[in-house]
Amino acid sequence: MDTVTLHAQATAHAELLGRWYAGLPELDLGTLEPHRTALISVDVIEGFTRQGALASPRVTAIIPSIVALLGRLTDLGVPVTQIAFVQDAHPEDAQEFAAYPPHCIKGTEEAEAVHELQALPNWSQYQHFQKNSIASHTSPEFTAWLEAQQVDTLITIGDVTDLCLYTLALHVQVRNLALGLGQRVIVPESCAQTWDAPDHPGDLYHLLFLHQLARNGAEVVRALR
């Protein structure tokens, strides 16, 4: 493909993403059945927010929205056993470090949840899982929890949009389709984010991968209120 054609296609797709993003709806949480709703948060930890090689202020900025969402779910009566947090906790010799800088090593502050989450009154009662991969479903404990959920709606939040959150939401959605579960898989844009880097424009990757989730049947919304 020549560069002129490639540039034209990229420009057209960027415009498509902009129109799609502008039209994202908000969703009223009051329309959901609390005892048939679950939430999965991935990697809202120090190593992607405030500390380490992969920390990003873009990700830090979504923490208040996530805290507010968790408070709203508690007020609505979503059981604590149906709210899960999956977090990186790598060994020092993790093979993933061949692709990414060393980060979120188990036992370090980088692998800990951000303090705003740890301060929540229900923090110790939520479900907590560790992973050594961008893919949450490589954690057998998390997979067992997911398979045990008898819910109609799964809300997926966290970071980063194009890696850990994408693999989480896509897995949940394709599992839903393959097993005919009829679940709603909801991704609120206000509770998702990725980083910026010279070879990784955050705005583009954030929207591109949210759009891909929508193309696979996930329900991407601007926010949950």
Q: What is the pLDDT of residues 153-184, one digit of tens each?
A: 999 999 999 999 999 999 999 999 999 999 99
Asked whether residue 10 is assigned to any structural domain, the reply reads no
For residue 71, report the phi and psi dihedrals to the nearest 5 degrees: -65, -40
pLDDT band for 15, please (50, 70, 90 cuts): confident
Query: Which segments of the chain does DSSP mark as H helices, in order?
Result: 3-22, 57-60, 63-76, 115-118, 140-148, 164-179, 202-215
Q: What does each C-alpha distance from 72 to 100, 101, 190 come to in angstroms?
A: 35, 36, 14
Burial 171-207 (b: 16+ CB within 10 A, else e): bbbebbeeeeeebbbbbbbbbbbbbeeeeeebeebbb
Q: What does each C-alpha distance from 9 to 16, 22, 45, 84, 85 come to in angstroms?
A: 10, 20, 36, 39, 38
Asked whether residue 2 is assigned to any structural domain, the reply reads no
Q: Which residue, 193, 43, 41, 40, is CA-closest to 104?
A: 43
Asked whether residue 209 is assigned to any structural domain, the reply reads yes
Which residue range(s) make up the domain with 133? 26-224
Kind and range of the H or E element at 219? strand 219-221
CB half-sphere exposure, 123, CA atoms < 13 A: 11
Q: What angle is formed at CA 167 by the lines to CA 12 and CA 131, rounded to 5 degrees?
A: 150
**Contact indicator for 192, 165 with CB cutoff of 8 Å:** yes
Q: What is the largest CA-CA distance in the chain?
A: 56
Asked whether residue 45 is assigned to any structural domain, the reply reads yes
Count the domains in the chain.
1
Asked whether residue 34 is assigned to any structural domain, the reply reads yes
Rounded Cα distance, 193 and 209, in Å? 10
pLDDT > 80? residue 192: yes
Specify the pLDDT at position 2: 76
Helices (H) and strands (E) in the chain, counts: 7, 9
**Mean pLDDT (whole number) for 119-137:** 97
Q: Which residue, 215, 120, 121, is CA-closest to 173?
A: 215
Q: pLDDT tens digits, residue range 63-88?
A: 999 999 999 999 999 999 999 999 99
Asked whether residue 8 is assigned to any structural domain, the reply reads no
Asked whether residue 183 is assigned to any structural domain, the reply reads yes
Q: pLDDT tens digits, residue range 31-72?
A: 999 999 999 999 999 999 999 999 999 999 999 999 999 999
**Mean pLDDT (whole number) for 177-206:** 95
pLDDT > 80? residue 6: no
Asked whether residue 99 is assigned to any structural domain, the reply reads yes
What CATH number does residue 65 fall under? 3.40.50.850
